[in-house]
Amino acid sequence: MSLTGRSLRAAVCAFLVLCGSVAAVPTADADQSCHPEGRALRYVVAFDRGTSEAEARAAITGGCGSTTIYYPQIAVAVASSADRDFTELVRPAAAFSAQAERLAVQRANGTPSAKAAPARAELEPTDPAKVPSADRTGEQWDMRAIGADKAHAIEPGSPDVVVGVLDSGVDATHPDLAAALDPGKSAGCLTGAPDRNWAATTSVHGTHVAGIIAAADDGKGVTGVAPGVRIASVKVIDDRGYADPEAAVCGLMWAVSQGMAVTNSSYYVEPWSLSCSHADERGVVNEVMARAAEYATSAGTLNVAAATNEAVGLVPSPQSGARPQTTGCQALPAGLRDVVAVSSVSSERVKAGYSSYGLGVIDVTAPGGETGECVLSTVPGGYAPLCGTSMAAPHVAGVAALLASKHPGHGARQLRRSLDAQATPIACPADYDLTGDGTQDAYCTGYAGFNGFYGHGMVDALAAVAPRRTGSNPAR
């Protein structure tokens, strides 16, 4: 199931009707005081809202750069420049380069950062005939925890609903995913502009996430939350594991252009290794991400994101146009107001030790597992268990897809309200000492119906397709 050159060009052209031309603009020449040094680096550039494409391109050219793409709906451009003074030259626009930030850290430390290691080995192509056909749904404790196994009999999801898997790429040849994956709506976003490089190449992550959402209900392997919906592979995580801001923005904008009902983002935006890191440039990244998320929501696309595995207390990220936060830990995109942030619980319905949390950030929770009892899903060549908020988020995206199937007229905000209202509340634990050393490992604030560990509670697939009657017992 490969995307032909003609269908790719048609999809990208349709996208660019909304997002503008991507024709290259020559960089300014030497007599304009440009001083290129080495290879060109990518930048994300935030302009004042209402800036025209011509104005944005002129500013980038004048700043010794070239325009990759301009998104006029949110006044954000992706540019490249070999001039290390580009961020100053392009003003009054605000620019940031994750690539430049990583290089600066490497130079300061004298050694590459941990994530700057050589790219991971290429994945072996999946031979569908060699994928084990045994039914492993009995091992899917996570699906039973949210009632997904019962929901399938009522509503497996509609093929009219497309979920964007904004991740490291999806294996389109896996037999549990081949029928669900829509190559015409898939795209690579690593350059900040959509292209045909959307398949999994070095990481199993995106394929695992995709299986949680929509693995086929065929009596073989595993079954996803919404096996009847379609998925699109939108590659925003590169072969070294980076999710740079320009890729994340591209992913959200592409999802809107393709009419996707839901997106899942099981990553946090680089280059910072910790979501508590702060720098002046973080304001630019927050601004472009907030604009993209706000635009996607207003266009009807619900965005779901993992809360990160850093076990930190999160605070909300600023809305677009607001001053950057100077205190507290922030996670992008999970901390944004227009994103459904998901924490992770174990099979015992307790916050996983690695899961980040935060009152006013976490919306709902879902199974992500703990060591020894992770979430089983698809990977290239077969199946494997993985743990993390990365696994929790697609459970929520799957439930949102069931809601979109059941209520095709509902927009992003209506879907979100339904997710929250139908979640099963989980109260803060009286004692959260996971290590048994007498010290609390994290502090939960809030009340049973809404708190920092679980938000509104455990997402409920069965309630999404057959809402509980008032006063009924939510226990399964």
Q: Active-site residues: which are they?
A: 167, 205, 390
Bond prior to 271 in cis (omega within 30° of 0): yes
Q: Where are the beta strands (DSSP E) in 19-91?
A: 36-46, 66-71, 76-83
Asked whether 419 and 363 are in contact (CB, 8 A), the reply is yes
* Spatial CA neighbour of 452 closest among 294, 275, 311, 261: 311
Helix, strand and coil content of the chain, in percent to the nearest 5, comes to: 30, 20, 50
Q: Retrieve residue 172's tokens.
A: 């389109």
Chain centroid to Cα 368, Å, comes to 16
Pair 11, 258: CB distance under 8 Å: yes
Query: CA-CA distance, 50 to 93, in Å (whole number)?
Result: 13
Which phi and psi angles does 78 have, rounded to 5°? -115, 130
Helix axes 389-406, 205-214, angle to 10 degrees: 40
- Say how many CA atoms lie within 13 Å of 189 toward its Cβ: 31
Q: Are 266 and 377 in contact (CB under 8 A)?
A: no
